[in-house]
Amino acid sequence: MQTRNIGDVQVGAIGLGGMPMSIEGRPDESRSIAAIHAALDAGVTLIDTADAYHIHADEVGHNESLIARALASYGGDASEVLVATKGGHLRPGDGSWTVDGSPEHIRQAADASLKRLGVDAIGLYQFHRPDPTVPYEDSVGAVRDLLDAGKIRMAGISNANPEQIRTANEVLGGRLVSVQNQFSPAFRSSEPELDLCAELGIAFLPWAPLGGISRAGELGSRFAPFAEVAQEHGVSPQQVCLAWLLAKAPVVIPIPGSSRPETARDSAKAVDLKLSADELARLDAN
C-alpha cells in the first residue's frame, strides 16, 4: 500500500477505525478480529481506537483490548502497525458521551490504555475532545508530559479548531503530529483545519469519512456524483470517497470504520484509484 507520514512514522495511506467493533450494534468478536486481519493483509498499518469505544460503564477500553488481541493473534508481521488511541472522552454507560480533559484524568487514562494495549509506549496518543471546563493548554500539557515521560511516542489532538491546533502545537513544542476531525461528503466544515494541517505538515485523520457507521452504506444514494464516478471506474462509491479525500492533501489519512472483512478490504483498495481533475471537481461541487 502507498504510505503517508504521521510524524516520522510511515503508515498505509488508508487506516482502519475500530469504533464500529465496540459500540452499539457491534458484531461478535470473531468477525471484528477477522476484519482487522483483513485490513492488515491489505496493507493497513494504522488502526485508530479510543478508550471510550465501548457500551457499558464496566468495559472501558473494550476496543483497545480487542485490537490488542487481534494483533497478538495475527499470523503475519504486525510489528509496523501504529495503534492510535485517545483519551478525554467518556461513556458513563447510559448511551451518552461526556468529557474530562483534566490533566489527572488524561494521565490515568493513558496509563490504563498502555496496559490494555500491552505496549511499552503508545504509538500515537490523542486528546479526544476539548473540555470546556478545563483550559485547553492544561489538557494538552498533560499529553506533553506523557510524551516527555516516554509513555507515548507521538502526540495528537481530535475534534479541534484552527486556534486549538496552533495552541496544541505550541504547548507540545512543535511536536503535534496529527489532528483527527470529522470530514466527509456530508461534513466539510473541517476544511480550515485540513488546510492548516497541510500548511504545517501535520497529518489530518478524517473520522467518519464515509458518513458514519449508520450511513456509510448509503453514500452513493445520498451523493449522486460519488455513485456516478464509482460506476465509471467499476468500484464502490466508498472507494471513490476515500480517493477523493486522499487527493485533498498529502497529509490526509482517512480512517474508515469497519467491522467486516469485505469493507476493510474495499476501503484499502482506494489507494489505487486515480481520479481526474474533472472528477475531483465534480465531487467537490456535490
Q: How far apart are CA 7 and CA 203, in angstroms?
A: 8
List, in sequence order, every beta strand (DSSP E) within 46-159: 46-48, 82-87, 89-90, 98-99, 124-127, 155-158
Q: How far apart are CA 165 and CA 169, in angstroms?
A: 6
Q: Which of 251, 254, 247 is nearest to 216 (CA)?
A: 254
Q: What burial letters (b/e) apply to 266-284, b meaning 16+ CB within 10 Å?
A: bbbbbbebebeeebeebbe
Q: Which of 89, 176, 97 is nearest to 129 (CA)?
A: 89
Residue 6 parent element (H or E) = strand 3-6
Q: Is 74 a catalytic residue?
A: no
- Please give the DSSP secondary-structure letter assigned to residue 8: T
Task: Give me the catalytic one of 53, 74, 125, 136.
Answer: 53
Q: Which of 165, 80, 172, 157 is nearest to 124 (CA)?
A: 157
The catalytic residues are 53
